[in-house]
Amino acid sequence: MTLQEKKIYHQIHPAQLTTDIVTGFGALFLLWQQELFLGVTVAFIPSTIVSLYIIAKVDLEKYKNSKFGAYLRKNVASKSADWGRFGGFIIMLLGGWVRIWWIAASGFAIILLIWLMGIFVGIVKPQKASK
């Protein structure tokens, strides 16, 4: 597996998903409490460490060959999707810092929408007429 593939498939490893979710909401809570340094640290350091470890040490072939891997490859594995999710995360954290819940919720919604993009595309994609 290439490094580029590892950068894609590590995102769906359970340890990475758990780390991202737990630290994302933990950082949001800390920023809401005006703990800037600790909030930013929690937001980025653990996920970076887990990413580096998974990319370097974990065999990701089973994730690549899974249904989730196929979904990721088809719908979410692009630079624009990566930047969109990152942008949503920044909006979520900024919403926490300024203590405006709907801004934080909007950032989270952006992240979810990008992860679920393939499902939504499948729903709104017109079906071919059967003969």
Alpha-carbon distance 88 to 5, whole Å? 23
What pLDDT does residue 123 have?
Answer: 52
The domain locations on the chain are 3-122
**End-to-end Cα spacing for the chain:** 43
What pLDDT does residue 78 have?
Answer: 82
What pLDDT does residue 1 have?
Answer: 84
Mean pLDDT by 10 residues, the chain (131 residues): 90 95 97 98 98 96 91 84 94 98 97 86 55 52
Check: CB of residue 35 under 8 Å from CB of residue 27: no
Q: Long-range contacts for 31-35 (Cβ within 8 Å, ≥24 apart)?
A: 31/93, 31/96, 31/97, 32/96, 32/97, 32/99, 34/97
What pLDDT does residue 14 have?
Answer: 95
